[in-house]
Amino acid sequence: MVPAAFTPLSELPLTVNGKVDVSRLKQATDAARTTPAAAEAVQPTDDPVLRVWWEILGEHVGPHDDFFSFGGNSLLAVRLSGALRRAGLPAVTLRDLYMHPTAAEVSALITGREPIEEPDGHAAN
C-alpha cells in the first residue's frame, strides 16, 4: 500500500518520553494538508454535500478537495454514499464518487448544474 499523500514536517511532535505523540502528529498533518479551498470551507456552509463530506473526512476538507487525497477509500466512499442518502440527497453511486471526487462536483452532479469554479478560476472537473 502507498500513502495517499506525504506531509513534510519540520520535526515530529514528541511526548515527554521522546516517543512520537500520535495525537499531535495527526493534528500537525491535518493542519499541513489544509488547502486554500479548505480555508473557505471551514466557514459555515449551506451546501449539504460538503456538510456530509465534513462528517466523513473532517471539517478541514474544502469543496474542491479530492475525497481520496484526504484519506477517503472504498469503505469510506460507501459510508459517504449512505450519509448522502440519509441527508435526503439523491442517490450517488460509488462509480459517481470515483468519477466526481470533490464535494463541488458531487453537488453539481446532484443538482444538474455546472461545477462550481475553484478559487483560481478553473472549473472543478
Give the per-residue pLDDT at 3. 62
Cα–Cα dist 40/50, whole Å: 12
Amino acid identity of 46? D
Residues 6+ apart with CB under 8 A from 117: 123, 124
Domains and CATH numbers, the chain: 38-111 (1.10.1200.10)
* pTM for the full predicted model: 0.57
pLDDT tens-digit profile, the chain (125 residues): 566 566 777 888 888 998 988 888 877 766 655 555 544 544 446 788 888 888 888 767 888 888 888 888 889 999 999 999 998 988 789 899 999 999 889 988 888 765 555 555 555 44
11: which 3 cell numbers? Answer: 520535526
Q: How far apart are CA 45 and CA 50, in angstroms?
A: 8
What number of other Cβ atoms are within 10 A of residue 55's Cβ? 15
